[in-house]
Structure formats: C-alpha cells, structure tokens
Structure 1
Amino acid sequence: MELRADIMVDINDDAKDGGYRRVEVLTGPGRRRKWSEDDKARIVAETLRPGTVVADVARRWQVSSQQVFTWRREMRRAAVAPLSFVPVVAETPVRAPEAALPLPAPPSIEVGVAGAVLRVTPGTDVDLLTAVLRAIRASAA
C-alpha cells in the first residue's frame, strides 16, 4: 500500500497580525481504493467481535469509520434479503415393491421405574399394566 503526504499551504492576510500561515499535512492514500468483498467482510467481521471499537479497526485498515458502518449495514441487508420465488414441481413418486418394505414397529411407550424399563404397546390391558407397575415399585422399596 502506497502512502503519500500532501502539503497544503494557506497564506492569508489578517488585519490585526499582518497575516498567518496554516500548514495541513494529509497522510494516507491519495486516491480512492477499491475494496474487495473479502476485505470488506474481513473488516466487518473484525468489528463484530465483542469489545471491539469500530474506530480502532477503521484506523488500523486506514478507512473511515463511516465507511465501515456502511459496509456493516449493507451486509446486514444482504443477509436478510427477501427470498426469491422457487417453483415447486411435483413428480410422481417411484414406489418400491411392497414386499421390500419392512413392517413398521408398533408404537410403544417406555417407562423407566426403579431401574427397570417397561415397554407398553397399544392395546395392553390396563389392569395388567397397573399390577406390573405396582409390583416393580414394591420391589424397589
């Protein structure tokens, strides 16, 4: 990165003192820079770290704080850009032979009581289930 210093000398007559001189030294690049998207993303990511001051990051990269805030705003907008329309195309599903499909296991409920696991399937007799649960509880006590 090339740095150059521009010196501007301003001489004006002042009615009281007979004149003054002002010298202004500008440092940094003297032209507009083109930042790549990767560089912009790297700079913005650096500003998003906890405890980071945007002005410090901008100074380190020799860019204005306002420019960094603009990049952050642009990236935030791009992240929440509305989704475009995607058409849905329905196709006829290819069916596998029925003999090749495994039968689904019947749904069950697993109950853990006193270190024992009891699997209960639909249709289990309620009285039998109650008796088994009482027996497990009694044996644990």
Structure 2
Amino acid sequence: MIISGDDPASKGAQRFEVFTGAGKRRDWPPEVKASIVAECYSGRESVSAVARRHGLDPSQVYAWRRDLRKRLEAEGVVLPLVEPEAVAFVPAVIEPSAVPDPAPTRRPRRRRRTAAAAVELEIDGVAVKIGRDADAGVISAVIEALRATR
C-alpha cells in the first residue's frame, strides 16, 4: 500500500544529473576499427594507450581485436603469435680512465635543519612561532593581532 506523499514520485527530484556529449553510441567504420587495431599491434604503444588516445575503453579495443582474429581465422588466415620481446640487460663496459680522479677535497654537505623559532608566543591558548629572519614590524603585528582576538 502506498500512502500519498510517501512514494518517491510525489517528492520530486532528489538527484539531478546532466550528461554531455553525443548522447548515443558511436558507430565506428570498419576502416577506422582496423587502423586502431593495427596501432595496437605496432608494438610502440599499449592497447590502453591507443584506446585512451581514441576515447575508447581498452575492453572495446580488445573485443575488436578478438573479432578481427576470429574473422580472419574463419577465412583461413592464421595470424602468427606475437610474443612479447624478452627483457634483456645491456652489458655495461667500464673503461678505466687514464688519470684517476682525485678524491674530493670538499667535505660533504650537511643537510640543513630548520632553524628553531626565534620568538614563541602563547596568548590565551594560541601559540605562535616566529622565525629568526622576521623583522620587528612582523613580530609586533602578530602580537597586536593576538591581543585583538582576546
């Protein structure tokens, strides 16, 4: 039983969404699909990067690849398996220099710590720390501002 005034339709809109864009599904011509799928097989970019550049979801591009593969296999064309390139290390060759570099004469730089505050004020429970490089005008302005808040 619905009591009038309790159903969602009588309360009015509770949430409002605005959708922008074409508002319909895009229809991709077969030539465009084939070029996008070919970009994925070029090996220069990942499927996700290609899809992102064309405003597509990667799953859509994977579906197009699967459909193309099935269509070609139905026609008797067997696609070669593309195996990812094996990761290999590049050998490093270190040649000794003719003159060895002298040991550094400089001392290593120390990390600079933050300087402690030069002035620490607490007025009515409000604590303020003022750095060493603050001028007298800034310090007096802070003190006056703290006094004015009381």
Q: Same fold (TM over 0.5)?
A: no
Q: Name the TM tier (shorter chain).
A: 0.3 to 0.5
**TM-score, length of structure 1 as denominator length:** 0.38
Quick one: higher RCO (CA 8 Å, sep 6+), 1 or 2?
A: 1
Structure with the greater alpha carbon radius of gyration: 1
**TM-score, length of structure 2 as denominator length:** 0.36
